[in-house]
């Protein structure tokens, strides 16, 4: 379970550009929930993820993960239980290292990075078996540097790497936004499969309203640092694209987006 309690966040405090972003923001995400989050630019979606992951400090309030207050915990410590996939496919992998080396790094998450062999040959077949279902032919490119792969291939690998070890939460930060529609679709199907198989509590920020409606069991729409739509379960299933789009247009028009 993940809770954001009474979060306050102000950008550039004390200057003319002061911008109050979150004021008494509250959100509770239950274990096993797959939450999709939509909202216009600057609505606070990515800021919320950054606050959860510890890449952004908060001015007030608490972040509580599985009943433990992690507000003061450093970002890298929080990531031991969080897997994260970014919009930019290059952020989730090491371009100068091979697929084999990248997967070996990812598999060791949670264990000490000591002086034992970095890439164990005996894991090779296992890694190949993970890559094969992607149907991208990556299993035959184990010794190729990741930097030479396409964006879609890298993002698939990043998604796989972020979920290789046992984690409690999966954070997807517009992870299909930089991909072409067909690849994005494939990544979404893969995401859904991994989330279901591993029962991961997932927060997915997306600009694609259709994905938000089709995937996940709870939908949030954010606007100006507030949650303006929050539907889950049966309520969400009954929701239609048109309804969300209408609401989206309302807030967009209002602010000339």
Tell me which residues touch another protein (CB under 8 A).
Answer: 55, 74-77, 79-80, 83-84, 86, 90-97, 101, 104-106, 108-110, 112-119, 162
**Closest by Cα among 173, 171, 241, 235 to 207:** 173
CA 171 vs. chain centroid, Å, equals: 3
Question: Can you read off the two tokens belonging to residue 141?
Answer: 């490119």
Count other Cβ atoms within 10 Å, centred on residue 40.
18
Of residues 177 and 245, the one with the C-beta less far from another protein: 177
Of residues 77 and 241, the one with the C-beta less far from another protein: 77
Least distance to another protein, CB of residue 189, Å: 23
Least distance to another protein, CB of residue 177, Å: 17
Of residues 25 and 86, the one with the C-beta less far from another protein: 86
Least distance to another protein, CB of residue 111, Å: 8
**The total number of residues written for the chain in this structure:** 257
Least distance to another protein, CB of residue 75, Å: 6
Distance CA 85, CA 220 (A): 19
Of residues 121 and 182, the one with the C-beta less far from another protein: 121
**Closest by Cα among 194, 208, 201 to 245:** 208
């Amino acid at each position: 379970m993940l809770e954001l309690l009474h979060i306050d966040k102000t950008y550039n405090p004390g200057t003319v550009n002061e911008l109050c972003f979150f004021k008494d923001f509250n959100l509770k995400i239950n274990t096993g929930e797959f939450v999709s989050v939509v909202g216009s630019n600057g609505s606070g979606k990515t800021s919320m993820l950054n606050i959860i992951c510890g890449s952004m400090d908060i001015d007030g309030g608490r972040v509580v993960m599985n009943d433990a207050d992690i507000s003061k915990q450093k970002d890298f410590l929080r990531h031991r239980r969080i897997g994260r996939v970014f919009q930019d496919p290059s952020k989730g992998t090491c371009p100068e290292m091979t697929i084999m080396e990248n997967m070996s790094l990812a598999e060791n998450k949670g264990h000490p990075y000591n002086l034992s062999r970095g890439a164990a040959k005996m894991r090779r077949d296992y890694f190949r078996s993970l890559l094969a279902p992607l149907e991208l032919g990556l299993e035959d490119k184990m010794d190729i540097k990741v930097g030479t792969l396409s964006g879609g291939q890298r993002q698939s690998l990043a998604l796989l790497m972020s979920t290789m070890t046992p984690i409690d939460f999966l954070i997807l930060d517009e992870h299909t936004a930089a991909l072409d529609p067909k690849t994005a679709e494939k990544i979404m199907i893969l995401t859904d499969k991994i989330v279901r198989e591993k029962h991961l509590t997932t927060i997915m920020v997306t600009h694609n309203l259709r994905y938000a409606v089709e995937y996940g069991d709870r939908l949030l729409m954010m606007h100006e640092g507030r949650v303006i739509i929050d539907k889950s379960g049966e309520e969400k299933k009954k929701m239609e694209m048109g309804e969300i789009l209408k609401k989206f247009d309302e807030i967009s028009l209002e602010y000339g987006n």
